[in-house]
Chain A
């Protein structure tokens, strides 16, 4: 018994505002995007007939398809990097650090940037990567190279470097959460059953944190797929992913084609999430 009876009508009333908000601002726009993607016109016209012509336009040009492949590739790359990096960091902070004070500070240092503007952080990378930037100055100073490396800014390397700094946190958080829920006595029990530290990790710890790993990967995947700001700021005009294309088309008024890209982006994301979710049930994490 609580302040709310099970299944009471009041609960529906309480849930209504949030539900309506999400429906109106999220679901309805999605439906509209799908509708517009089937418009057989180039620009905005409510009286458009519906056809697959804009989809055909996308798949007929190899540059567009390549863009899709590039975007997916970049996401997979980031997923791999953040998986390893994120797990190492989470494992260190949660398992290896003994003092709770230190744990807290490390965690804060990791998470606080999330509460600052992603845009600012992206812009902050520019002075880092450029020919006169910090990385090059450091390399020159250390004598590693005798000429500044121009391959950082306006390059895929630069974009990847920046994205790693933004998105690793997304992979670390969920892993840290699931790691905390693995009682140390389980590890100790395995040790007393002749398991070496490597076996303890691989057979006990890692499997039990798999839900966190998968959720982290999903978050990274979704974010990188739709990332346009990093590419445009750090890649200059040389690089683009699907997200940049959407903005370009929107700015030039080609709404139907932009919607096609958006729908394809959504499909990729849904597909990826479905694959990853086969491995875990979110509600079992004890949140609800």
Chain B
């Protein structure tokens, strides 16, 4: 009979092993892709690597390639930015509205959450059908934009709901009793305190849109976004240039997440020091 303490240690060890192995499992493909993107000019899409070079990155930057990838990248970035701002604004309004518990706020809550549950395929297809029937032309800055926000809004909404949950209503009440009207109380007290949540919503809006593929598939016109172009290229042939652009775009995503997180922490630190100074 094994000692109970040994049993506990074994269980912890097993769970830890599973966790670490899974994390490796999840990250290895991406790391491998990044590694392979540095393969030599004779290298193919799989191992073994023939030398190490920046050849494929240079291929990316070549004039031909630039036409292939740079405009779509630009479009994706602009779209992501627009999505980010729209998500943050709509989510803030929706979360603030929910606080008032208006009639129909329950169905409203589920309506917004529906965006997470609805798979990209169906949403994209649905929009394709509608635009076809109504004769609306597809474009990355109209139809794709609409579909992206449907996906990102629920995430931003949940983030802001959590932020409002942590928020102390009494601070607002204090502002109101000190003579501020509701509008000013919101902008001077509430908004700065839930700003981290707004930034979080903006983060979701940006990254989820920038990487979004399935929804864009049906709703984008001839001017494609980056993931679509990557997919098209992938369909044609699998070359290390694809790994290069894949690595580049992943790095962009990671850097964005890091920047947003930094911004989030700075804002939270500032509001915390302000709160400490005033109490």
Q: Do the two shown chains form a genuine complex with each other?
A: yes
A residues near B, CB below 8 A?
1-8, 10-12, 14-15, 17-19, 21-30, 32-33, 36, 44, 46, 85, 88-89, 91-93, 96, 106, 109-110, 112-113, 115-121, 123-128, 130, 132-134, 137, 164-165, 168-169, 197, 218-219, 222-223, 225-226, 228-229, 233, 243, 246-247, 250, 255, 258-259, 262, 265-266, 269, 273, 282-283, 286-288
Between B4, B46, B147, the greatest number of chain A beta carbons within 10 A of the residue's beta carbon is seen for B46
**B53-61, B157-165, B267-275: which lies at the A interface?**
B157-165
Is B213 part of the contact surface with A, judged by Cβ < 8 Å?
yes
Contact string against A for B residues 152-177, beta-carbon threshold 8 Å, 1 for contact and 0 otherwise:
01000110011001000100110010
- Chain A residues near B108: list those with CB within 8 A: 15, 18-19
- Contact yes or no, A246 B125, CB < 8 A: yes
Given A119-B211, A243-B121: A24 and B172 within 8 A (CB)? no
Contact string against A for B residues 132-154, beta-carbon threshold 8 Å, 1 for contact and 0 otherwise:
11000000000000110110010
- Contact yes or no, B30 A121, CB < 8 A: yes
- Chain A residues near B185: list those with CB within 8 A: 3
- Contact yes or no, A116 B213, CB < 8 A: no
A82: shortest Cβ distance to chain B, in Å? 11
- Chain B residues near A19: list those with CB within 8 A: 108, 111-112
Given A2-B172, A130-B46: A12 and B150 within 8 A (CB)? no
6 closest A-B pairs by CB: A29-B126, A226-B119, A11-B100, A117-B211, A14-B97, A15-B97
Is B36 part of the contact surface with A, judged by Cβ < 8 Å?
yes
A239 and B29 alpha carbons, distance in the complex (Å):
21
A25: shortest Cβ distance to chain B, in Å? 5
- Contact yes or no, A113 B26, CB < 8 A: yes
- Chain B residues near A127: list those with CB within 8 A: 29, 32-33, 36, 45-47
- Chain B residues near A269: list those with CB within 8 A: 117, 119
- Contact yes or no, A14 B96, CB < 8 A: yes
Residue of A whose beta carbon sits closest to that of B248 = A120
A117 and B133 alpha carbons, distance in the complex (Å):
31
A8 and B113 alpha carbons, distance in the complex (Å):
23
A180: shortest Cβ distance to chain B, in Å? 13
A250 and B131 alpha carbons, distance in the complex (Å):
14
A288 and B165 alpha carbons, distance in the complex (Å):
8
Is B120 part of the contact surface with A, judged by Cβ < 8 Å?
yes
B100: shortest Cβ distance to chain A, in Å? 4
Is B242 part of the contact surface with A, judged by Cβ < 8 Å?
yes
- Contact yes or no, B93 A132, CB < 8 A: no
Checking B46, B129, B246 against A123 with a beta-carbon cut-off of 8 angstroms, the contacting residue is: B246
- Contact yes or no, A165 B214, CB < 8 A: no
A273: shortest Cβ distance to chain B, in Å? 7
- Contact yes or no, A265 B122, CB < 8 A: yes
- Chain A residues near B190: list those with CB within 8 A: 3
B264: shortest Cβ distance to chain A, in Å? 13
Is B224 part of the contact surface with A, judged by Cβ < 8 Å?
no
A11 and B211 alpha carbons, distance in the complex (Å):
33
A29 and B128 alpha carbons, distance in the complex (Å):
8
Is B236 part of the contact surface with A, judged by Cβ < 8 Å?
no
- Chain B residues near A117: list those with CB within 8 A: 210-211, 213, 227, 246, 249-250, 253
- Contact yes or no, B211 A116, CB < 8 A: yes
Residue of B whose beta carbon sits closest to that of A111 = B257
A222 and B119 alpha carbons, distance in the complex (Å):
7
Between B98, B122, B207, the greatest number of chain A beta carbons within 10 A of the residue's beta carbon is seen for B122
A255 and B125 alpha carbons, distance in the complex (Å):
10
